Amino acid sequence: MKVLIVNTLYHPYKVGGAEISVQAIAEGMSKKGIEVAVLTLGEKTEKTVINSVSIYRLEIKNSFWPFDQVKYSKIKKLKWHFTDIYNKEYNKNVNEIISAFHPDVIHTNNLTGFSVAIWDIAKTNKIKVVHTLRDYYLQCPKTNKFKNNNCTKQCTECMLFSKVKKTKSQFVDRVIGISDFILKDHIQEGYFKYSDKKVIYNGFDITKKLSGNANFNGQTFLKFGFIGQVNKAKGIEVLMKCIAEFTKYDNWKLYIAGVVDSSYKDYLLSFLPKEKVEFMGYVKQETFFKTINVLVVPSLWEEPFGRVVLEGILNNVPVLGSKKGGIKEILSNNSKFTFNPLNEELKNLLQLILENPKELNTFNFDIDYLYKSFSLESMIDEYIKVYKELKN
């Protein structure tokens, strides 16, 4: 069987968890005997091989490369997104790759830059399509459905940009959600009406030994941690404002890992005394998780999955997680440590833990639950099953 996996970016390019998951799928399939190739975007067209997987990288065919730190004007960004509604500039290259590789299945993931035109190319070549929902690109050109706060309904701009995408989604053979939340969210909005539907959680290497329980006592110094994009959507402001209520307690400090511009950093520092918070900048996960002993994931936006939650648990760190998006599904066996970030629940949870750190000893590190739902092996097997069903 041959599978062509399509994703906006691929190693060494990376923006978030999607690139990690797609690489894990590609390499996991290859090890299982599936012939895999990856179609992705880059700053130039080239063919490479990474860990035995063939990579077809196409130069992006739009007005600029959107994955750097350059700030473009609103008009320039609107032009970029307009082109990205249905971009036929890749058709010739993609058809040549299909002719050379002869895939049985095309598995699309994040489509920013490619556009849904890739689905029509697959159908023209009579190839079955699997699409995995990893963001909100089909509904929102910014991919996150977040403008100051979560969007409760589509704005006019998003409605215009998504009309073609919704129409084209009806011809996808199988749609996969990386959480039940993101799958239902698209179905409720009228996407993928005729597609077979399934949830396959992102997979992780669950070979590490978990301690099975936390080990906190009444005198434990609490080192709270936040890692990821340091912005409002990720809930950093909510966390800072909540934890600022407890500056009189001397048994905690907050560690923030992630790149943050100086003006926003100064704004965040206005909430807490400097001795109570440390901005670590970009650090390796290993370093971060060795520094902290409680991870806080206070997301305001509806996280499609919430990868960092699993990463915390697999590093033997209890997690306090927002009930937004897929996070609550990961923490379904630790619901007492979840909170609504828009009311008093985070404040109350922080107070409970600060006054009695032993509460963290009840956090459930259930290796059987993790392996069954979130193991790399389980994810790979589920995708292979989907591919075989489509081929037959």
* pLDDT tens for the 392 residues of the chain, in order: 999 999 999 999 987 889 999 999 999 999 999 999 999 999 999 999 999 999 999 999 999 998 887 889 999 999 999 999 999 999 999 999 999 999 999 999 999 999 999 999 999 999 999 999 999 999 999 898 887 777 777 788 888 999 999 999 999 999 999 999 999 999 999 999 999 999 999 999 887 667 667 889 988 999 999 999 999 999 999 999 999 999 999 999 999 999 999 999 999 999 999 999 999 999 999 999 999 999 999 999 999 999 999 999 999 999 999 999 999 999 999 999 999 999 999 999 999 999 999 999 999 998 888 989 999 999 999 999 999 999 77
Q: What is the pTM of this model?
A: 0.94
| DSSP output for 151-204 | -SS--HHHHHHHHHHHHHHTT-SEEEESSHHHHHHHHHTT--TTSEEEE-PPPB
What is the model's pLDDT at position 209?
Answer: 66
Residue that is written with structure tokens 């060494």 in the block: 12
Helices marked H in the chain: 17-31, 74-83, 91-101, 117-124, 156-169, 180-188, 236-243, 262-269, 285-291, 307-314, 327-330, 345-355, 367-374, 376-391
What is the model's pLDDT at position 208?
Answer: 66
Which residues, in sequence order, are bridge partners of residue 35?
A: 2
**Per-residue pLDDT tens over the stretch 263-306:** 999 999 999 999 999 999 999 999 999 999 999 999 999 999 99
CA distances for 329 relative to 105, 184, 198, 324, 373, angstroms: 29, 13, 15, 9, 10
Which residues, in sequence order, are bridge partners of residue 250?
A: none
* C-alpha count within 13 angstroms, C-beta hemisphere, residue 100: 14
Q: Can you say how many angstroms the Cα of residue 147 is from the centroid of all Cα atoms in its chain?
A: 18
CA dihedral 180, 185, 186, 187 (to 10 degrees): 80
What is the model's pLDDT at position 296?
Answer: 98
What is the model's pLDDT at position 59?
Answer: 96
CA dihedral 213, 219, 221, 226 (to 10 degrees): 50
Domains and CATH numbers, the chain: 2-203+376-391 (3.40.50.2000), 222-371 (3.40.50.2000)
Contact 2, 35 (CB under 8 A): yes
Asked if the bond preceding 103 is cis, omega within 30° of 0, the reply is: no
Which residues, in sequence order, are bridge partners of residue 171?
A: none
- Please state whether beta strands 46-50 and 53-59 pair in parallel, antiparallel, or not at all (unpaired): antiparallel
What is the model's pLDDT at position 278?
Answer: 97
What is the model's pLDDT at position 212?
Answer: 67
SS3 (DSSP) at 98? helix
SS3 (DSSP) at 8? coil
CA distances for 275 relative to 178, 252, 271, 325, angstroms: 39, 10, 12, 33
Residue 39 is inside which H or E element, if any?
strand 35-42
CA angle, 386 as apex, 39 and 10 as ends, to 5°?
25
Q: Can you say how many angstroms the Cα of residue 254 is from the centroid of all Cα atoms in its chain?
A: 24
Contact 365, 213 (CB under 8 A): yes
Q: What single letter denotes the amino acid at residue 261?
A: D
- Please state whether beta strands 146-147 and 149-150 pair in parallel, antiparallel, or not at all (unpaired): antiparallel
Distance CA 176, CA 206 (A): 22
